[in-house]
Amino acid sequence: MDDRASGRQAGAGLLATDPGERLPAIVVCDHNHIDSGIHTDGDLYTLDVAGVDRLANWQHLDETAYRRRSHAWLEAIVAGLDAEWPGLAGAVVEQHIATARTMHEYLNTPEGAVYGWDYRVPDGIPRGGPLGSPATSVDGLWLASSYSGMGGFTGAMGGGTAAARAAMAALPS
């Protein structure tokens, strides 16, 4: 196992206990740099923070303990971001945390996989089938989500594009 993989595994394990001196590795994404047309009010911005987690960190907790620990981690992460970008914590209007348990309970993803499924690297280039096509068994219905291709928001955009192309191709000429 290389050092990076070892670091990711150690980072995911940090969430199994209350926050301490160390934060897990996180990625911060400021979607306001994308001209999506979603934000019309210049005073509010969306900032997404993502990291590695495991369902095992949360599934044994009762609801009270789960809420307490997830809130503690949310506060620790915001404080860590504020240390990097002073003033950030004071600008937060609303905050939420979604753990591997959240993904598992709301989306029924295996082990809380954030991308929606237990991804397995194909033996070759995917050609057709569930990972290569937005088609369904219902005529005129296509999947436009990350479940129709690769995972995450990039997969959702690609799945939407593929579904739109399939729908347009099916239109009568």
Calculate mean pLDDT across residues 30-39.
68
Tokens matching residue 9: 């595994």
**Nearest-angstrom CA–CA distance, 172 and 94:** 47
pLDDT computed for residue 71 by the predictor: 97
Where are the chain's structural domains?
Answer: 1-119, 128-173
Task: Kindly write down the DSSP assignment for every residue of 131-171, as one continuous string.
Answer: TT--B-SSTT-B--SGGGSSSHHHHHHHHHHHHHHHHHHHS
Average pLDDT, the chain: 80
The number of CA neighbours under 13 Å toward the Cβ of 84 is 9
**Per-residue pLDDT reduced to its tens digit, 77-94:** 999 999 999 999 999 989
pLDDT computed for residue 134 by the predictor: 81
Model pTM score: 0.67
Contact 160, 150 (CB under 8 A): no
CA nearest neighbour of 55 among 46, 66, 45, 64: 66
pLDDT computed for residue 119 by the predictor: 57
**Per-residue pLDDT reduced to its tens digit, 140-157:** 888 887 766 666 667 777
Calculate mean pLDDT across residues 99-103.
92
**Nearest-angstrom CA–CA distance, 24 and 13:** 8
Please report which confidence band the pLDDT of residue 115 belongs to, taking 50, 70 and 90 as the band edges.
low
Q: What are phi and psi of 4, to 5 degrees?
A: -65, -45
**Nearest-angstrom CA–CA distance, 166 and 163:** 5
Place of tokens 């240390």: 83
**Nearest-angstrom CA–CA distance, 75 and 70:** 9
Does 96 or 31 have the greater pLDDT score? 96
Please report which confidence band the pLDDT of residue 129 belongs to, taking 50, 70 and 90 as the band edges.
very low
pLDDT computed for residue 4 by the predictor: 47
pLDDT computed for residue 18 by the predictor: 94
pLDDT computed for residue 3 by the predictor: 46
pLDDT computed for residue 5 by the predictor: 46
